[in-house]
Amino acid sequence: MLKTVDNLFHITSIDKLKQILRDKGFKPSYAEEKVGDKCILVPMISFSNILVRDIGENEVIDYGNSAICFDRKWGISNYLNPVVYSYEDGLIDDAISFFTDSVLLHHELHHFKNILEQNTNNKKGRISEQINLYKIITSQKQKISNEVKDVFDYLGNNYNEELVDVISNYANEIFNRSMGIIALTKKYIVTRKNNDTKVAYNEREWRKLYKDLAIIFEEEYNYKDFTNKQVKPKPHFEEEKYLLRFSINEIKAILVDTENNVIEITNELKEIFGQVIVEELLLKKKLLIGTKDVLESEGF
C-alpha cells in the first residue's frame, strides 16, 4: 500500500500547548501573509501535513518544540484546507495581483460617487487621467487594466447612481466569495522578520479559515494594530463560536522536547479529560505523548 502522511501538526510552544489543551480547542489569530503585490492579515489556525522529523530548530518548521497532532480526516471534517503555493510572476501570483487590484477598485467604487457625478456634470473627459486610481493599491507594479479604466471613464461621463451601486454590489459579492482563494494562497518562498528567506512550500500548510472574519489589507486603518502584539495580543478571537474544538479521542499524538514535559502534559490531560480515559488511550497507543525520537519510532 502506498505510504501517506496523514498527520496534521499544530506547532507551538509548551506554554501555548498547555493552553490549547485547557481550552479543548484552538483560537484563531491574524497571520501576516503576502499575496501578489499585497500584504494582508488572514484570520486562521495553521497546521502542517508533515512528519515529526521536520519539526524543530534548523528543521522545516521552527515555530516551537511542541506540537499536537490530528489525523487529516479530522482536518477535513473541520473544513481545514491545504494552501496553494505561488511564486513571483507565476500564474497564480499574476492572477491574484490582477484580481485584487481590479476588484478592489470596483469594491471601493461607491467612494468615488461624488467625483464621478461632478465629472459627468462638468464634462471633464476621461476620469482615469484625472484622479489617482492607485489610491488603494500598494504597489505600482501591477498596472490597472484598460478594462477597469474603461468602467471608471464611462461612469465618469455617464454618471448613474443606480448603475454604480449595481457594479459595486456585484464587485463586493465577487470580492467576498473569492476571499477564500486569497486566504489560501502563500508565497513559495517567504522573507522572515530577520530578513532571511525560507521555503514555505516544505511546510505543506493547512488552514482553518472563517467566512465571517475579514481579511485585512495593509491599506486599512487597523492593519498595524494587529501586527503589534502590544496593541492586539494573540489570540485575536476569544469567542466560543470561533473555537476549533477537539476531543481527547481525536488527538493522535503530542510532541514535547523533554521527558519532564511528557510527565507534565500527561498529568494535564488526566486533569482536563479524566484519568481513566487518558490512561486507556495511552495503553492502547491510540494517543502518544513523547519526544521527537519517540514519535519518530512510532511512525510519525
- For residue range 71-116, list pLDDT tens digits in order: 999 999 999 999 999 888 888 888 887 777 666 666 667 777 888 8
> Residues in the chain, how many?
300
Q: Is residue 237 a contact partner of residue 213, using CB atoms and an 8 Å limit?
A: yes
The answer for 198, left when phi > 0, alpha when psi is -120 to 50, beta otherwise, is: beta
Instruction: Average the pLDDT over 178-195 and give the result.
Output: 83
**Angstrom distances, CA of residue 183 to CA of 83, 197, 216, 229, 241:** 8, 21, 10, 21, 20
Q: How far apart are the first and last CA of the chain?
A: 17
How far apart are alpha carbons 9 and 68 in whole angstroms? 6
Q: Of 3-17, 125-139, 260-274, 283-297, which range is least confident? A: 125-139
Q: Is residue 59 a contact partner of residue 215, using CB atoms and an 8 Å limit?
A: no
How far apart are alpha carbons 172 and 158 in whole angstroms? 22
Mean pLDDT of the chain: 86
Q: CB under 8 Å to 221, separation ≥6 — which residues?
A: none
Instruction: Average the pLDDT over 188-210 and give the result.
Output: 86
Q: Minimal CA–CA distance to 193: which of 147, 243, 227, 142?
A: 227
Kindly tell me if the per-residue pLDDT of 221 is higher than 70.
yes
Instruction: Average the pLDDT over 3-8 and give the result.
Output: 86
How far apart are alpha carbons 63 and 57 in whole angstroms? 8
Q: Of 13-27, 47-61, 286-300, which range is least confident? A: 47-61
- Strongest mean pLDDT among 34-38, 227-231, 260-264: 260-264
Q: CB under 8 Å to 164, separation ≥6 — which residues?
A: 109, 110, 112, 113, 116, 155
Helix (H), strand (E) at residue 293: helix 292-297
Q: Is residue 30 a contact partner of residue 67, using CB atoms and an 8 Å limit?
A: no
In which residue are the cell numbers 467604487 written? 109
How far apart are alpha carbons 39 and 90 in whole angstroms? 17
